[in-house]
Structure 1
Amino acid sequence: MSPRTSAAGSLQKSAPVFSALGDETRLRLIALLCAGGALSIAQLTAGTDITRQAVTKHLQVLADAGLVRDLWQGRERLWEFEAGRLDEARRSLDTIAQQWDRALARLKARLED
């Protein structure tokens, strides 16, 4: 498999993560979960005008992307951040950055010749 094919596969695998993070509410939920550990929907909606039903839908999108997971503590459903998928997405962005750096270096070399 060529590096280009590998990079394309990595980006395709990370696309759901980038899509899930493309919403302001979901970004806020991720930030809260990163800062506060496992939280209930009541805790996630406290002090906001977002309904519990809306937060539940956003959390499901994040869960489908592998960014959060739910766990049960007694009768309470808690949500926590899963860093693994975000790390994969970061590595995809690093690959793109390296490709851009190489392309810009080639362009610079050609312009200087």
Structure 2
Amino acid sequence: MSVLVDDDLWSAVGDPTRRRMIDRLLADGSGTATSLAEQIPVTRQAIAKHLAVLDRVGLVHGAAAGRERRYRVDEARLARAVAQLNAVGDAWDSRMERIKRIAETIQQTTETKE
């Protein structure tokens, strides 16, 4: 069973700062680079770069709000990402179960020969 994985998406959410930003945006409903920088211990410039990565993969969308951009999480895209992660987890669970059965068969064969 092969699962299609969006490498750009998982690269984007692989960063702990970006995950914290998504958590904050979900908790607050929206936020700007400035408001996120007040809550997360990195510079506003770093936050802006992280937001650009998240925007590029479609996890957040920004809209002009005065001199800044206000970002919101695209909950539909996030739900698709979660579904993809679950599919990857299910595929690995299936692989691990097959490996376990093979190992048990080898162990039984070895014990029978002794």
TM-score scaled by length of structure 2: 0.73
Per the alignment, residue 39 of structure 1 pairs with 31
Q: Where in structure 1 are there 5+ consecutive unaligned residues?
A: none
Q: How many residues align?
A: 105
Give 1:33 deviation, angstroms. Answer: 0.2
Choose which of 47, 55, 58 in structure 1 pairs with 2:50. Answer: 58
For residues 33 and 86 of structure 2, the distance between their equivalents in structure 1, rounded to whole angstroms, comes to: 33
The sequence identity of aligned pairs, in percent, is 34
* Contact map agreement 1:17 1:85 (CA 8 A) in 2: no
SS in 1 for 2:36: helix
For residues 92 and 36 of structure 2, the distance between their equivalents in structure 1, rounded to whole angstroms, comes to: 38
Give deviations 1:48-96, integer Å, cap 9, x for gaps: 5533222111100010111110013455421111122222222222222
Q: Where in structure 2 are there 5+ consecutive unaligned residues?
A: 109-114
Choose which of 62, 87, 90 in structure 2 pairs with 1:98. Answer: 90
SS in 2 for 1:66: coil
Per the alignment, residue 74 of structure 2 pairs with 82
TM-score scaled by length of structure 1: 0.73
What RMSD over aligned residues (CA atoms) do the two structures have, in Å? 2.4
